[in-house]
Chain A
Amino acid sequence: MLFKNVFLGIFVLFSVLGCSGQKTDSKPAISIWHWMTDRDAAFQELAKKYETLTGIRVNFELYAPSDAYSQKIRAAAQGINLPDVFGILGEKRDFASFIKAGHILDLTFYMDANNNIWKNNFFPKALAVNEFTAGNSYGINPGIYGAPIDIMTIQMVYNKKLFSQLGLNPNRPPKTLQEFLDIGPKIQAAGMQGLVSGWGEVWMIDCLANDFAFNIMGKDKVLATIRGEVSYTDPDWIKVFSIFKQMQGSGVLAKGLVTMINKSAEQLFANEKAVFAFNGSWCVNVYKGMNPSLEYGAMLPPQVSDKYPVSIWGGAGSSFMVNARSKNKEEAVKFLIWLTDQEQQAYLSKVTNNLPANKNCLAKIPEVLAQFARGMDYATHPNIWGVSEFSLVIEAFDRGIQSIIIGEKTPEQVASEVQQIKERELDKRKAR
C-alpha cells in the first residue's frame, strides 16, 4: 500500500513539474542573454527605462559564470533557441562559426545608416573586434557583426599618496623608461613595493613585452617576427628583453613578481603596499571594492623609444550580437542603438566602473575611467593582428622573461632559445 502511495505521489509531483514550465513562459519583446554579473543590475534598470520610453519590454537574463554561459549559447545555437540578442565569448573563429551558421545579423547596414551615425559613436578599435574585413581568413562576408557595449584597456596605474611620500609629483607619472627606472632606488630606499602585476599568470608579461616591442620596432616588424620573417635574436628584440633586466636592476619591480597572481597584485596595490600596478581597466571596479578611498591614476607604459608610438592592448570588452533568425531583430537593433548612446553608456560606466564603448561620453564619466578610456587611442590587440604566434613560442617567450627577472638567464640567452623554438615550429608547419 505504502509503495503504491509513494509512486502515486511521485507521479503527481512529476506531472505538476512537467506542466509548470510550459505555462509560465511570458514572451518578452526582446530577450537578451548575458554573462556580466556586475552589470546585471544596471542592465535591468536600463531595460525598465527603455520600456517606459518605448513600451517595449526588454528581458535581460543573466547566465554566469562565463564558461557555463558559453556552453549554454553553443547548446542553444544547436537547438536554434538563441535569444534575440546575445554575446559570444571566445576567439574570433568561434564568432565566425556562428556567423557562418546564420545565427548572427550583419549590422553594417544599421551602422552605416544616416551618415554612419551609429558607427561614429564607437571607438574604432572597439568596433574592429566585431568586424570582418574583405578577404578575411574565415571566409565571412565583410561587415560589422556586433555592437560593443564597453571596452577594456591594459595599462599601468600608480598610487598618488605613495608618489607624494616618495617626493614625486602625484599628477605627473613617469613618461619615459628612464623616468620610470629612476623611481626604483627611491622605492627601495623607502622600503616600498614597486610594480605589481599578475605575472605568475604569464599572459600579462606577454602583454607588457608586446607593448615595448611595438614602441621599439613598430607594428610591422613585430608582425613580421610572428610570421617568421624577423628573428627573435634581432637587436630590437634583445632590447625588449633587456628592459625587464633593467627594471629588475633598478628595483622598480616588486619582490616575488614572477610568481604573483593578479588577485594578490590587486590586493597589494589596493592596500597601498605597491607604488605601481600593470592591470586591465577592470581594476577600477576591483580597487573600489577592496579600498574605496584609494587615490590613484592611470598611465601608459613608459615610453622606450620615440621612433614609434606607445602601444597598449585594448579593444571591445563585451559586445552584443543580434540573432539573425529572430522575429524581433529590428527592435533588437533599435534597442542596441539606444543602449550604446551617450547617456546610457555614461550611466553604465558610472554604475559598473567599466569603460564605455561610446567615445563621446568621456566627459560624463569619472576621471580615472576616462584616463583608461583615452588609452584606446594607443590600443591594439592580438585578435586584430591577423597573425598569431605559436603557443610554444609564447610560452618560451614569457617564461624566458621570468628567467631574466630572477637572474637565471640573460636577454641574449632567452632570445636565442625563443628563436630555436620558433624555427622548430616553423619547420613543423612546413612539413605538414
Chain B
Amino acid sequence: MKNSFYYKSKKFVVNTLIHILLISVAVTCLYPLLWMIVSSLKTQDMIFKDISLIPHQFHFENYTQAWKEGGFGGNFFNSIVYTVSVVFGIVIISSMAAYAFSRLRFVGSKFLFIMFMAAMMIPIPGSFVALYVLLNKLHLRNTPIGYILCMINVGLSTSIFLLKTFFDKMPKELEDAARIDGCSKIGIWWHVALPLAKPVLAVVIVFNALAVWNEYILALIIFDNRKFMPLQVALQSFQGEFVTNYPLLMAGLTITALPIILVYLFMQKYIIKGVTQGAVVG
C-alpha cells in the first residue's frame, strides 16, 4: 500500500524535474537577450576581455551613438510605416481571400488556392532578381509602395492558409443568421468572420510583423536611397566584413527588438488562444 508520503515525494520529484527543464529552456531563451543587453553597455575591447554578465562600467552612451551613427531616426519611422502598412494589407487581403476560398464556389478556386500554397515553397531570395526587374518595369523600384506591395505578396500565402483553415471550421449557421438579418457577403466577412477570427488574426499579425520588421535584403535590393531603408539595414552599418562593432550593434539590436517584443506582449493572449484553437494546423 502506497502511503501519502510516496505520492507527495513523487509529486515533488516530478515537479522539480519539470521546473528544472522549464528553467533550462527559459535560460537558453533569455541568455542571448541578456548577453545582447550586457554587451550593449560595454566597450569593444571589454566584450573580448571581460566575459562577466555585469559590466564594471556601464556605457549608456552606446545607445545614443548607435542611434546617431546608424541613422536610426528615419529608419525607425520607415520600419513602423512598412510594418503597419504591410500587416494591414496582408490582414485585409488574406482574410478576404481565405474567406472566399473557404465559402465561395467559383471556377478555378482550388487551382488558385494550390497556386498560393505552392508560392510558400519558393524561397524568397530566389525571387529577388525577378521582383527587381518587375518593379523596375512598373517604375516602382526605389519607392516605398513597391517595397510594401512586395512584402504583402510575400506574406499572403501563409496567412491565407492559416485563415482558410479557421474559416473552414467556422459554423455555417452563424453566416445564415447574418444573411437572414440582411448582411451582404462583405458584411458577413466584416461583421461575422473577422471578429471570430481574432485569435488567428493575432497569429497572422505577429508572424508578419516579425517578418517585415526583420527584413532587410529585399529593402537593400529595391531601394537605392538610404532614406527609404528600414531599421534592419541601419543595423548592418555596424557589421563589417572582418570587424564588427559589437557594442553599437548590440545597442542597435536592443532598440530594434523592443517594439516587436511589445507587439508580442500585447498580442500574447490572442496568440495562445489562436494556437490552442488549432489556428496553426498543419
Contact = CB atoms under 8 A, between A and B. Distances in A.
Interface string B18-57: 0000000000000000000000000011001100000000
A290 B45 contact: yes
A68 B217 contact: yes
Interface string A282-298: 11011001111000000
B85 A292 contact: no
Instruction: Give the secondary structure class of A's interface.
Output: helix
Contact of A17 (B141, B143, B224): B143
B243 A285 contact: yes
Contacts, number: 120
Given A267-B48, A291-B45, A68 B220 contact: yes
A21 B144 contact: yes
Contact of A292 (B45, B88, B236): B45
Given A21-B145, A71-B125, A291-B49, A64 B221 contact: no
A28 to B, nearest CB: 11
A91 interface: no
B49 A13 contact: no
Interface string A266-283: 010011000000001011
B34 to A, nearest CB: 21
Given A14-B85, A21-B142, A290-B44, A64 B237 contact: yes
Interface in B227-244: 227-228, 236-243
A10 B89 contact: yes
A63 interface: yes
A289 B237 contact: no
Interface in A20-42: 20-22, 24-25, 35-38, 40
Interface in B78-110: 81, 85, 88-89, 92
B242 A61 contact: no
Nearest to A7: B92
Contacts of B245: 289
A235 interface: no
Contacts of B236: 37, 64-65, 68
A78 interface: yes
A75 interface: yes
B225 A24 contact: yes
B269 interface: no
- Interface size class, chain B: 35 or more
Instruction: Give the secondary structure class of B's interface.
Output: helix
B143 A286 contact: no
A173 to B, nearest CB: 23
A75 B127 CA distance: 10
Interface in A30-68: 35-38, 40, 61-66, 68
Nearest to B228: A21
A38 B240 contact: yes
Given A37-B237, A40-B237, A282-B243, A10 B85 contact: yes
A285 B226 CA distance: 26
Of the listed residues B48, B224, B243, the one surrounded by the most CB atoms of chain A closer than 10 A to its CB is B243
B242 A14 contact: no
A75 B148 contact: no
Contacts of A74: 129
A291 B43 CA distance: 11
A289 B220 contact: no
Nearest to B81: A17
Nearest to A22: B143
B67 interface: no
A63 B142 CA distance: 14
Contacts of B216: 68
Nearest to A80: B136
Nearest to B242: A282
Given A14-B145, A65-B236, A282 B133 contact: no
Contacts of B128: 71, 75
B207 interface: no
Contacts of A327: none
Given A10-B85, A10-B89, A286-B242, A20 B144 contact: yes
A79 B144 contact: no
Given A14-B85, A75-B221, A289 B45 contact: yes
Interface in A60-114: 61-66, 68-69, 71-72, 74-76, 78-79, 81, 83
Nearest to A20: B144
Given A3-B190, A74-B129, A79-B132, A17 B148 contact: yes
Interface string B122-160: 000100110011001001111111101000000000000
A354 to B, nearest CB: 10
A20 B225 CA distance: 11
A37 B233 CA distance: 12
Contact of B217 (A61, A71, A76, A285): A71
A285 B259 CA distance: 34
26 contacts: A3-B190, A13-B85, A17-B85, A18-B144, A18-B145, A20-B143, A21-B140, A21-B228, A24-B225, A25-B225, A36-B240, A62-B237, A64-B236, A68-B216, A68-B221, A71-B125, A74-B129, A75-B129, A75-B132, A75-B221, A81-B141, A285-B243, A286-B242, A290-B44, A290-B45, A290-B49
Q: Which 5 residue pairs are nearest across A and B when measured between Cβ atoms?
A: A21-B143, A18-B145, A75-B132, A282-B242, A17-B144
Given A17-B85, A37-B241, 18 more contacts: A3-B190, A10-B88, A14-B85, A20-B144, A21-B145, A22-B143, A37-B236, A38-B241, A66-B241, A69-B220, A72-B220, A74-B129, A75-B133, A270-B48, A271-B48, A286-B242, A289-B45, A289-B245
Interface of B: 44-45, 48-49, 81, 85, 88-89, 92, 125, 128-129, 132-133, 136, 139-146, 148, 190, 216-217, 220-221, 224-228, 236-243, 245
